[in-house]
Structure 1
């Protein structure tokens, strides 16, 4: 109590006891002094450090799981295994199940064509894309605005723009990207706009969405389910979770650096929404990493390799889209080369790591 009060974050005896009862703070070490001297109690330094971090993140009315996640992701706190995994499970799996139920309702509502064999994976990708567009969000709103920069969509209705956006998202979520479909690739290039000179949260949101969605196409295809994901998360060693946590945080910081050109400092993770988002990314990665080459990092797969692949895959579409917007005398090949080279240099330089070859 003295330590937390000295930090300006006083907590009560009842609060400390609650944390101890839930396994967050171990009981103190007790040493029997002999005779009538009784016992002496003391806390190891790591327990004192954890109590101070928990007190810093605690707020009246804040869920304990959110306090745990903030301490874990913002302060790299050494949270005990059971409280940490419980917070991750209670944050990730209800959200995952709500999302899957919503997607299933949309997919089931689409009538099948009589006499034709349904592609369940395409149907699922289509339902997920429709749900994302329906729910909106910063990334979707920004991609919609980006698509309107195409001449044929500049004056289109909202329904027409959303139709093009759903088409882009379906193929980002499918097993592979149809690079030979030039119309689709032009919409994809316009929607994610990797060469934009804008620096904003919306741009970051688009890059994160595109990279994370497309990353699924870069690994082996394996079917899984909630039970297997839960088993994998629960049996991941605590030290491994800390390492994976560092990968997720590094990836988010690197993407923020790229999206803002390094002009806005580090990304603040000290909000409940960011902590929950990080928790879901970590829980997902504990399983998804097994579909990628051994030693792959979250940052490499999701926010470097994936973005670089998208930049290269849409190079021709970039050239054609710029040709529609610029005078015919513009040296398009040089401009395209400069734009893509600058993007690749900017993206690769963020991690400082050598690129892997597949």
Structure 2
């Protein structure tokens, strides 16, 4: 039986979305209503003229955002997340939390399963007491090095600035890189381990003046990872995270969304040098990433002082603390690099003039300082 022509509230929404260039059907509106994205319309009594149904402006804004992000075959959760993060749509609590839960927790469990398998594959060290936190961090590090992302490749190249790794085999460099990443993924950074801190300082290269997206990726990675070490250490499990996310009030989720978007915008600004304007969160992968960041932050923020913002904790404050922690390592590494850069000749008979020229740069040779 053919469907009758839409009237009242549905017709109003269809006209609005069509005017935006995003026409939607009655069946799509009904689906959104079944999923509790759209409420029942308000009924307005017109006296002898009968009644008319209509939606408040907030619902109209939501429908326009959903229509803007809807695509044939696109998951409804992805449409909801895009509307929420890209358009700040006034999304109802239940479908929003369902989208966040279904995006965050399966991804988290898959990652944890992969790390657990990697941890189990690492042979025990006879005579040593197992540290589950270290084992887990080491497994994370092994997976990251095997994945070979942008940050990992740059950190590997940075480590070769150390004189003893300049011509070392790839396996040796990767072994030292796994050590750096393991301790970054551990609950606390072992600042008293000077050898490790020297490797860490070299790998992140905070004093570099060479801008590149790869170096930015390194700083983003270490800043986000170290931010967790700066907070109060508490164990959580999936159930606690689930309860925290589900128990977060809707208005608080909207505020946290703004923090997540601000953090992503700050990352984009740094990565592009501020030359490409604001970041457009237009892709499903970016919306899912933002959703996972928000879900993680609902729990992680409890480990930081009240009022801490995501952007500040995960970048500015974290990098400043890393610079403090690696200050001594930077001095020692810099001295080693300077010695390695000096020509290996017998200086016993070097005259005063030659010494002054060599140490002041008067010879015209530009000495490496990084």
| Distance (Å, rounded) in 2 between the aligned partners of 1:238 and 1:54 | 18
For the 8 Å contact 1:247–1:298, the answer to whether it is kept is: yes
| Residue 325 of structure 1: how far off its partner (Å) | 4.2
| Distance (Å, rounded) in 2 between the aligned partners of 1:325 and 1:116 | 35
Paired position in structure 2 for 1:29: 42
| Distance (Å, rounded) in 2 between the aligned partners of 1:330 and 1:119 | 50
Name the CA shift for 1:116/1:153 in 2 (closer, same or farther; >3 Å).
closer
Residues 197-253 of structure 1: per-residue CA shift (max 9 Å, x gap): 344433332222111111111111111100010000001000001111111111222
2:132 is aligned with 1:120: yes
| Distance (Å, rounded) in 2 between the aligned partners of 1:108 and 1:5 | 56
What are the within-5 Å matches in structure 2 for residues 163-178 of structure 1?
Answer: 163-178=175-190
Q: How many residues align?
A: 332
Name the CA shift for 1:99/1:154 in 2 (closer, same or farther; >3 Å).
same
Q: Which of 238, 242, 246 is the aligned partner of 1:230?
A: 242
2:328 is aligned with 1:285: no
Paired position in structure 2 for 1:257: 269
What are the within-5 Å matches in structure 2 for residues 289-308 of structure 1?
Answer: 289-308=301-320
| Residue 294 of structure 1: how far off its partner (Å) | 1.6
| Residue 18 of structure 1: how far off its partner (Å) | 1.2
Name the CA shift for 1:264/1:181 in 2 (closer, same or farther; >3 Å).
farther
What's the C-alpha RMSD, in Å, of the aligned pairs? 2.2
Structure 2 counterpart SS, 1:142: helix
Paired position in structure 2 for 1:312: 324
TM-score, normalised to structure 2, is 0.83
Structure 2 counterpart SS, 1:250: helix
| Distance (Å, rounded) in 1 between the aligned partners of 2:205 and 2:90 | 39
Paired position in structure 1 for 2:281: 269
Paired position in structure 2 for 1:156: 168
| Distance (Å, rounded) in 1 between the aligned partners of 2:208 and 2:55 | 53
| Distance (Å, rounded) in 2 between the aligned partners of 1:151 and 1:64 | 54
Residues 308-341 of structure 1: per-residue CA shift (max 9 Å, x gap): 111222223333434444556479xxxxxx99xx
Q: Which of 33, 48, 56 is the aligned partner of 2:60?
A: 48
TM-score, normalised to structure 1, is 0.86
| Distance (Å, rounded) in 1 between the aligned partners of 2:34 and 2:211 | 46
| Distance (Å, rounded) in 2 between the aligned partners of 1:20 and 1:275 | 23
Paired position in structure 1 for 2:78: 66
For the 8 Å contact 1:171–1:177, the answer to whether it is kept is: yes
Structure 2: unaligned runs, 5 residues or longer: 1-13, 343-358, 362-368
| Residue 115 of structure 1: how far off its partner (Å) | 4.3
| Distance (Å, rounded) in 1 between the aligned partners of 2:236 and 2:314 | 19
Paired position in structure 1 for 2:28: 15
Moved more, 301-310 or 7-16: 7-16
Moved more, 195-204 or 230-239: 195-204
| Distance (Å, rounded) in 2 between the aligned partners of 1:192 and 1:252 | 21
| Residue 41 of structure 1: how far off its partner (Å) | 0.8
| Distance (Å, rounded) in 2 between the aligned partners of 1:149 and 1:70 | 42
For the 8 Å contact 1:203–1:259, the answer to whether it is kept is: no
Residues 158-191 of structure 1: per-residue CA shift (max 9 Å, x gap): 3222211111111111122122323322221222
| Distance (Å, rounded) in 1 between the aligned partners of 2:73 and 2:163 | 50
For the 8 Å contact 1:85–1:234, the answer to whether it is kept is: yes
Name the CA shift for 1:156/1:10 in 2 (closer, same or farther; >3 Å).
farther
Runs of 4+ residues deviating >6 angstroms: none
Paired position in structure 1 for 2:17: 4
Name the CA shift for 1:204/1:38 in 2 (closer, same or farther; >3 Å).
farther
For the 8 Å contact 1:257–1:266, the answer to whether it is kept is: yes
What are the within-5 Å matches in structure 2 for residues 145-224 of structure 1?
Answer: 145-224=157-236
Structure 2 counterpart SS, 1:216: helix
